[in-house]
Amino acid sequence: MKKCFILFIVFVIISAGTLTGAKTNKNLYLELFFGQSFISLEDLNLFSTYQKEYYEYYYNYYRVNYNHSYSRATSSGIIGEFNKLKNNNIFGGRLKYYFSSNSEHHKWAISLSFKYINGKSDSDAEMIYNIGHFYAGVYSLTRKTDPSRLYTEGYVPQIGIHYSALNSRKFSLEANISAGLIFASCGSFEQYYYNKTEPTGYIDKM
């Protein structure tokens, strides 16, 4: 992330220097932009689905197997959620050169841009079981996942072609086509705690 941010700052500085050296050139512009991109990361989101199903299995295992004549398991259920990653934040800059400086006519332009993307989704879940045995007292089992994180990060240098029409001081319309390489990474992070407290006072931690 730091490397991408530094590259973006370098891009802005170089672009600003280019504009400073071309003050009389009205065809050259620097644009900054930001927004969001809605994405579908089924493979990455499977981690969240797996975590949710594991907790459900863990809940049913103790609820079914311990509720017999010798013991009783009680739980408030699963507290919390495992969220999925649905969108990325985007910000970047674009250095654009117009072939015509007349704002009253249709214009063509080329551009060099740098786009940084990142997104993350944090989750946490917890489950506590109290298992009572008639001969030993009450066992307490606690499992907590905090945090569970899905993340994506990357940067995209691009070149583009732009066509603008209906140019005026109040309204303009532009279409563009851009292409480039995306350098991105994605992954997941999980940290969980598991405690077992026995009637004797012994605590087993993982």
DSSP per position, the chain: -HHHHHHHHHHHHHHHHHHHTTTT-TTEEEEEEEEEEE---HHHHHHHHHHHHHHHHHHHHHHHHS-BTTEEEEE---EEE-----EEEEEEEEEEEES---TTS-EEEEEEEEEEEEEEEEEEEEEEEEEEETTTEEEEEEEEEEEEEEEEEEEEEEEEEEEEES--SS--EEEEEEEE--EEEEEEEEEEEEEEE-TTS-EEE-
Per-residue pLDDT of the chain (206 residues; tens, 9 = 90+): 455 555 555 555 555 555 444 444 578 889 898 998 876 778 888 989 999 999 999 888 888 877 776 678 888 889 999 999 988 999 999 999 988 765 556 788 999 999 999 999 999 999 998 888 766 778 888 999 988 999 999 999 999 999 887 776 677 788 889 999 989 889 999 988 888 888 777 677 76
